Amino acid sequence: MSYNYEKRMKTKNTLEPMHRSVDLEGRIIDCNDKYARMLGYVKDAVIGMSIFDHTPEDKHDVLRTIFENWKNHVPINNHRFPLITKSGKTFDVLVTVGDVTGSNGQVVRSSTTLLDYEEVRQLQEMVKLSKYESLYENSPEMYRTVNINGIIVDCNAAYCKRLGYSKSEIIGRNLTAHTADRSVSAILINMAHWRVDGVCTQVETWMKTKDGNEFPALVTPTNLYDENGALLGRNVVIQDMTEMKETQEMLEQRRQIDQMKDEFLTGITHELKTPLTPIIGFSQALAKPKLLGSLNARQMDAINTVLNNAVHLRQLVTDLLDVHKMELGRMKFDFKELDIEQLIAGALASADHASKEKGITITTDIREKGRMVGDQFRISQILNNLLYNAVDFTPEKTGEIHITVEKEGDLMKFSVRDNGVGIPEDKQPSLFNKFYQASTESVTRRYGGTGLGLSICKGLVEGMGGSIWVQSKPGEGSTFHFTIKPGGMAQ
């Protein structure tokens, strides 16, 4: 539906509320231009007239009662009542009377708002005519309809309930009466823009209930037009954001705590690794006669023990950081094109020393040659981990390890088979848990032994869109398989 500015201007006059201020004698001491115009006078002529002059004669008795009630502090909200113009025409208005009090707290005059009943009826009719009428009234969300000046002309039960007013207390009030002070200026600016360009924008605001409580709300307006396409007002859905805000705040707090933990762990890891650099470096230097002179056999054994333990400690620190990152979901992958044969060659090179020391043969069967997109560092980390495990649990001299790479559907599958001790079936499900070690013999392992290796592999593989599993029988060796989705996780 298009919005026509000129058409709106034509009908604008009928959309403003009328105002008049009346003293205790029933004399009009002030009014707005529209009040005067609607009644067929100029403003100056109205001042000093009696409200009875603007009321059809047959209603004078009723008016007298209402007037007396007002002076006795009986509230008057949206009372339907006729007015009579200078030329004798009558029309209905909805009257809401507010008090203006003097310094001693006494009522000195009224501040009366009169809404053209026809306009209100038209807007309410539009709501009724729409196929959403029942949704409007019965919706658990709050609904209100306002005219172009922000006067509330209709609302639903949920709105009344949440705000704590009856419907008659709401109709005719300006929406700012239900807006928390902190949001009033923003709402007025929003409404001013809307009156000029007719563009409805969703806004977050703070509402105010009858008892003064404030709550956050999401306000989603839709324009209402008359049959000529002129803007009459807006229908507004209001969502109570209290719970969502609380959840958001809780999540934000949690995020901040996670970030602090993350920063702490990254920092502490760095601090722990820093002294390890000279420890490992000087141990290596001592083991090289060329650098610091020769050691005897016992001294060499001692320094190698220092070295092995320092390397183990370094691995532990690195693993802990990896586990922590995975728990926080902060593990990042660097997907790049990589050469599969080079990847396997790298893994073989890193296990070369350990396997030769035990006289273990490693063979490969790379069925899928060429390039794939993956995180080379992390895939190598998994392969190395599986290879070191295989070397550790495979007998000296007769040990055999076989690596296979093949395509399985759209996944790349890597398998590491050994002819080692194997893993009992009841222990297999726990293998990928943190700090689990299938065998206590692993204390003699050269690498890893942190109890984190396979759980890290599992986290890495899953982060790269694959899975990891084992096939094994005691005495018959084990085969660890893992798959990687080339290019990473599907989005």
Partner 1 sequence: MRVLGVDDNVDILKLVQITVESLGHAFESAPGGVPGLDKIRNNQYDLVLLDLSMPDMTGLEVIDALVEDGIIKKQRVVLFTASYLGVEDLESKLREKGVHSILAKPVDLDQLMDRLQQIESEVEST
Residues that bind partner 1 (CB under 8 A): 270, 273-278, 280-282, 284-285, 288, 290-292, 314, 334, 377
Tokens linked to 305: 């023990």
Q: Return d(Cα 362, Cα 352) in angstroms, integer.
A: 9
**Smallest distance, Å, CB 391 to partner 1?**
19
**Smallest distance, Å, CB 460 to partner 1?**
15
Task: Select 52 or 282, whichever has its Cβ closest to partner 1.
Answer: 282
**Smallest distance, Å, CB 290 to partner 1?**
6
Task: Select 80 or 288, whichever has its Cβ closest to partner 1.
Answer: 288
Task: Select 60 or 270, whichever has its Cβ closest to partner 1.
Answer: 270
**Smallest distance, Å, CB 268 to partner 1?**
13
Contact in structure between 172 and 184 (CB atoms under 8 Å):
no
**Smallest distance, Å, CB 328 to partner 1?**
14
Contact in structure between 385 and 350 (CB atoms under 8 Å):
no
* Largest Cα–Cα separation, the chain: 125
> How does DSSP classify residue 24?
T
Task: Select 75 or 267, whichever has its Cβ closest to partner 1.
Answer: 267
Task: Select 87 or 274, whichever has its Cβ closest to partner 1.
Answer: 274
Task: Select 285 or 345, whichever has its Cβ closest to partner 1.
Answer: 285
Contact in structure between 481 and 471 (CB atoms under 8 Å):
yes
What residues contact residue 59 under an 8 Å CB cut-off, 6+ apart? Answer: 81, 82
Strand partners, 238: 142, 219
Task: Select 167 or 273, whichever has its Cβ closest to partner 1.
Answer: 273
Q: Return d(Cα 359, Cα 167) in angstroms, integer.
A: 89
Task: Select 244 or 285, whichever has its Cβ closest to partner 1.
Answer: 285
Task: Select 166 or 259, whichever has its Cβ closest to partner 1.
Answer: 259
Where does 336-450 have alpha helices with state H? 340-358, 376-392
Contact in structure between 287 and 305 (CB atoms under 8 Å):
no
**Smallest distance, Å, CB 242 to partner 1?**
40
Task: Select 112 or 450, whichever has its Cβ closest to partner 1.
Answer: 450
Contact in structure between 418 and 400 (CB atoms under 8 Å):
yes
**Smallest distance, Å, CB 343 to partner 1?**
16
Return the exposure string of 314-353: e unless at least 16 CB atoms fall within 10 Å of the residue's CB, then b: bbbbbbbbbbbbbeeeebebebeebebeebbebbbeebee
**Smallest distance, Å, CB 375 to partner 1?**
10
Burial of 176 (0-12, 13-18, 19+ CB in 10 A): middle
**Smallest distance, Å, CB 307 to partner 1?**
10
Q: Return d(Cα 333, Cα 125) in angstroms, integer.
A: 59
Q: Return d(Cα 44, Cα 323) in angstroms, integer.
A: 82
Contact in structure between 394 and 401 (CB atoms under 8 Å):
yes
The position carrying tokens 């172009």 is 148
Q: Return d(Cα 55, Cα 65) in angstroms, integer.
A: 13
What residues contact residue 58 under an 8 Å CB cut-off, 6+ apart? Answer: none
**Smallest distance, Å, CB 317 to partner 1?**
10
Tokens linked to 211: 């008892």
Cα of 217 vs its chain's centroid, Å: 15
Task: Select 45 or 345, whichever has its Cβ closest to partner 1.
Answer: 345
Task: Select 84 or 280, whichever has its Cβ closest to partner 1.
Answer: 280
**Smallest distance, Å, CB 270 to partner 1?**
6
**Smallest distance, Å, CB 276 to partner 1?**
6
Q: Return d(Cα 191, Cα 379) in angstroms, integer.
A: 58
SS3 370: coil
Q: Within 13 Å of residue 173, how many CA atoms lie on the same side as its CB?
A: 20
> How does DSSP classify residue 148?
T
